[in-house]
């Protein structure tokens, strides 16, 4: 299953643990529970690939809950985060990346005790991909990842892993907001993304997914970075307050229109710009 969290690379050497994000930032201090569990692995050294998540009250990974736990720019610690481990790259000085995925997974199961509170091994499900995908969507999961069991570990995008999402989710740049009708916080965001030439291109906006407290918090953050003109030239609106393109929003959406605007979009949370 595809989990909705932060991809992490975790190294444990004689009980000393380091955790990196996908872009190489050291986030060891942000996941104390995961660090404590990794330190208890019965190995001399190991490098594990996985995803950090925070579960909601139904036991489903919630990116919004993870984002709240970490706190944007404040370096809060996500004490309740769980690492779903799905691959083992190195073990006791041995490079396992040339091994088949099934063999690496067997080795992973052998070193992760079920008693560890903050590490779980992601579940392998075999069967009809369409039925598995439908079940994942029905249970509110983000989607599935199909993997070739005989494939070695290769960095970057390859055909060995195929990701299928129930709902599209991506990170967009906040370029403006519409004040809430209540007068407190935001009622909607205007968004953009980088085109192939590096320039910002409007993708429309998002007007749902904000709780009252999130709307108020976003309003305070965006008020601090106002600017008189839109970051995307040519945009006009009498109701939008334009801001500097500094904040990143994670947004779910069903599709894009022919003009490139998001359809049925819903705000999920802010992404940390330091890890983009």
The answer to whether the CB of 248 falls within 8 A of the CB of 271 is yes
What whole-number distance in Å separates Cα of residue 52 and Cα of residue 3? 9
In a domain, residue 209? The reply is yes
CA separation (Å) from 195 to 43, 58, 198, 232, 267?
46, 38, 5, 11, 21
What does the pLDDT average to over 112-122? Answer: 94
Residue 155, number of CB atoms within 10 A of its CB? 7
What whole-number distance in Å separates Cα of residue 102 and Cα of residue 259? 43
In a domain, residue 256? The reply is yes
Helix or strand run (H / E) with residue 201: strand 200-206
Say whether pLDDT at 245 is over 60: yes
Within this chain, do residues 71 and 160 fall inside the same structural domain, yes or no?
A: yes
Query: Over the stretch 163-208, which tens digit does the pLDDT of each residue have?
Result: 777 777 899 999 999 998 888 899 999 999 999 899 999 999 999 9
Residue 197, number of CB atoms within 10 A of its CB? 6
pLDDT at residue 73 in the model? 52
pLDDT at residue 61 in the model? 80
Query: Over the stretch 54-108, which tens digit does the pLDDT of each residue have?
Result: 988 878 788 778 877 887 555 678 889 999 999 999 999 999 999 999 999 999 9
The CATH number covering residue 236 comes to: 2.40.50.140
Answer with the one of 124, 141, 165 that is the final residue of a domain. 165
pLDDT at residue 75 in the model? 64
Q: Please state the pTM of the whole predicted model.
A: 0.63
Answer with the one of 143, 165, 187 that is the final residue of a domain. 165
Say whether pLDDT at 128 is over 90: no
What does the pLDDT average to over 137-151? Answer: 77
* Residue 217 domain boundaries: 168-275
Query: Over the stretch 8-54, which tens digit does the pLDDT of each residue have?
Result: 999 999 999 999 998 889 999 999 999 999 999 999 999 999 999 99
pLDDT at residue 15 in the model? 94
Of 131, 110, 122, 176, residue with least CA distance to 1: 122
In a domain, residue 188? The reply is yes
Could you say which of 2, 163, 221, 268 is catalytic?
2
Alpha helices in the chain (DSSP H): 32-38, 63-70, 101-111, 129-138, 212-223
In a domain, residue 1? The reply is no
Answer with the one of 131, 150, 165 that is the final residue of a domain. 165
The CATH number covering residue 58 comes to: 3.30.470.30
Query: Over the stretch 202-220, which tens digit does the pLDDT of each residue have?
Result: 999 999 999 888 899 999 9
- Total domain count for the chain? 2
* 100 assigned to active site: no
Within this chain, do residues 122 and 178 fall inside the same structural domain, yes or no?
A: no
């Amino acid at each position: 299953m595809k989990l909705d969290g932060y991809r992490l690379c975790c190294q444990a050497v004689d009980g000393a643990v380091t955790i990196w994000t996908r872009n190489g930032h050291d986030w060891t201090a942000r996941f104390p529970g995961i660090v404590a569990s990794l330190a208890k692995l019965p190995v001399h050294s190991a490098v594990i690939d996985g995803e950090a998540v925070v579960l909601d009250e139904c036991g489903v990974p919630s990116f919004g809950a993870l984002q709240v736990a970490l706190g944007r720019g404040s370096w809060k610690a996500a004490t309740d985060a769980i690492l779903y481990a799905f691959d083992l790259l190195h073990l006791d000085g041995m490079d396992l990346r040339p091994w088949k995925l099934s063999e690496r997974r067997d080795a992973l199961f052998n070193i992760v005790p079920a008693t560890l509170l903050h590490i779980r091994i992601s579940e392998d499900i075999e069967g009809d991909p369409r039925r598995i995908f439908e079940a994942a969507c029905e249970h509110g999961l983000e989607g599935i990842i199909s993997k070739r069991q005989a494939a070695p570990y290769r960095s970057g995008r390859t055909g060995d892993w195929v990701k299928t999402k129930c709902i599209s989710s991506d990170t967009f740049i906040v370029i403006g907001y519409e004040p809430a009708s209540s007068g407190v916080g935001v009622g909607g965001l205007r968004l953009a993304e980088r085109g192939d030439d590096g320039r910002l291109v409007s993708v429309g906006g998002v007007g749902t997914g904000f709780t009252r407290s999130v709307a108020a918090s976003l309003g305070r953050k965006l008020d601090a970075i106002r600017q008189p003109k839109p970051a995307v030239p040519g945009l006009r609106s009498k109701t939008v307050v334009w801001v500097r393109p500094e904040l990143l929003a994670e947004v779910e959406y069903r599709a894009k229109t022919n003009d490139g605007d998001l359809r049925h979009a819903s705000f999920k949370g802010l992404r940390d710009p330091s890890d983009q």
